[in-house]
Every structure is written in structure tokens, then in C-alpha cells.
Amino acid sequence: MKENWTDIMKGEWMIEFHAPWCPACKDLQKAWNAFADWSDDLGIKVGEVDVTVNPGLSGRFLVTALPTIYHVKDGVFRQYSGARDKNDFISFVEDKKYRVIDPVPDYKHPNSKQMAVVAVFFKLSMAVRDLHNHLVEDKGIPSWASYGLFAGVTLALGCVLGFFIVIIIDQVFPTGPRKNQQSKKAEKKDTKKDSGTESPTKKNGNNNNAKETKKTK
């Protein structure tokens, strides 16, 4: 479902997010499978997402608790919060009870740009966790050393990023001696312009003085 998740934008769906280590998800699985058997009769599609395999999707849907269930109809997303039994699921769809639930707002819509960014962060966090498990379980590195390594890398990246941000800000909004130099240069340019352009009054005065000198001669 990772590659073709946008298929749920069409038609009516019920989607469950779960994880293998989640006890509540395991308790729900029997009722969910029984509900899925009714999908053809109800005219809907029933799907499920393993968040350990598809962390990006859990990010798009901002899944913070498991299991999480969404109802989707023609691109409108609503989070299901009712009882978790086969008959309750059937009644929810058949009686259109989803109409009383507020849809997910636009800024949280799974297909929005901002949620695509959140999906990237979810993927990154999962990658970091997998790397930590690999270092501890496969390489035998102590947990404290793994955490220390990640902390050091995070600080280093933060320093580098902060350095570049300071450079950019200094280029766009200069301060201190550099700003004074730019101000002086601008003043010099203005002074040159003023000295190179005489006012009409001054020119007339010079012309009158020249005429009076000629008359005197």
C-alpha cells in the first residue's frame, strides 16, 4: 500500500494502522478480519497498514496511537473512534454514521505538502531506530555508546546548519563594520552625484556674473 496509497482517495475505505508488537492491535485483528469479509456486501474496501513497514504512511496520517482506524470516502478522511467490533464497523458504514464526525482539516490532510514533510521525518526516525538496533544487537555496541554517537552526530549537524544560517543572515542583513562600509560607499556615491550636477539657480548666477564682467570691461 506504500506505493499506491493514493488509491484510497477514490471510493470508500476503512483503513487500520497497526504494529506487530501492539497487544491492542492483536486483540482487534479477529474483528477486523471478520469485518473485511463484509467489504463486498458493504461496497467498500478494507485495508491495513503495518507502521513498522510503512513509517511514511503513519507520518502522513499522523498516527500517534495504535491501533488507529480511518474512514475515507472520496478523499475525505475521518478518524474512527467508536467501538471496535465487527458489527460496530458494519453499522458505522451501513448507517453512514461517519457523517457526524468532522473531517480531517486541510492542514492535516494526508495528501498535503506539510504531511508529506512529516512523512519524511517519520521515515528518518524509523531509520535511526533501525540503525540503533543494528549497532546494539548485531554489532554488540553498548546502548549508551549508540545514544552517545547519535547525540554527537546531532550536535555536529546542528552546529554546521547553524553556521550556514548565520552566513546567510549576514549576507542578507549585514551588521557592524561591514554595514558602515556600505553606508559610507552609498554616501560617497550621493556626494559625487550632487557635486556633478549644478542647480539651475547656481548656473543662472554664474551666467549673470559673467555678463556683468563683460559690461564692466
CA of residue 132 relative to chain centroid, distance: 24
In the chain, the number of structural domains is 2
Last residue of a domain, one of 55, 84, 108: 108
Distance CA 50, CA 30 (A): 16
User: What is the domain extent for residue 121?
Assistant: 113-171
* Alpha-carbon radius of gyration of the chain: 35
109-115 contacts, C-beta under 8 A, 24 or more apart: 109/77, 110/5, 110/60, 110/61, 110/77, 111/6, 111/9, 111/60, 111/75, 115/59, 115/60, 115/61, 115/62
Confidence band for 183, pLDDT divided at 50, 70 and 90 = low
Q: Which residues are paired to 72 by β-bridges?
A: 13, 77
Q: Tell me the per-residue pLDDT of 122-179, one tens digit each, with 9 for 90 and over.
A: 777 766 666 766 677 777 888 787 778 768 877 887 888 888 888 888 777 776 665 5
Residue 188 lies in a domain: no
Cα dist. 84→13, 92, 168 in Å? 16, 10, 53
Distance CA 141, CA 135 (A): 6
Distance CA 55, CA 127 (A): 9
Residue 210 is predicted with a pLDDT of: 45
When the pLDDT of each residue in the chain is averaged and rounded to a whole number, the result is 80
**Residues sharing a CB contact under 8 Å with residue 199, sequence separation 6 or more, in sequence order:** none
- Of 8, 14, 15, 25, the active-site residue reads 25
- Minimum mean pLDDT among 37-41, 172-176, 186-190: which range? 186-190
217 pLDDT above the threshold of 50: no
Residue 210 lies in a domain: no
- Peptide bond before 200: cis, by omega within 30 degrees of 0? no
User: Which position has the higher pLDDT, 47 or 1?
Assistant: 47
In terms of domains, do 10 and 104 share one? yes
Residue 83, C-alpha cell as written in the block: 467501538
212 pLDDT above the threshold of 90: no
Whether residue 54 contacts residue 47, with contact meaning beta carbons closer than 8 Å, is answered with no
Residue 19 is predicted with a pLDDT of: 93
**According to the per-residue pLDDT averaged within each range, which of 13-27, 121-135, 190-204 is highest?**
13-27
Q: Tell me the per-residue pLDDT of 83-103, one tens digit each, with 9 for 90 and over.
A: 999 999 999 999 999 999 999
Residue 178 lies in a domain: no
- Of 22, 101, 136, 141, the active-site residue reads 22
User: Which position has the higher pLDDT, 150 or 46?
Assistant: 46
In terms of domains, do 133 and 53 share one? no
In terms of domains, do 101 and 19 share one? yes
Q: pTM of this prediction?
A: 0.62
159 is catalytic: no
Pairing label, strands 45-50, 68-73: unpaired
Q: Specify the CATH number for the domain of residue 54.
A: 3.40.30.10
Q: Is the dihedral of CA 178, 184, 187, 188 positive or negative?
A: negative
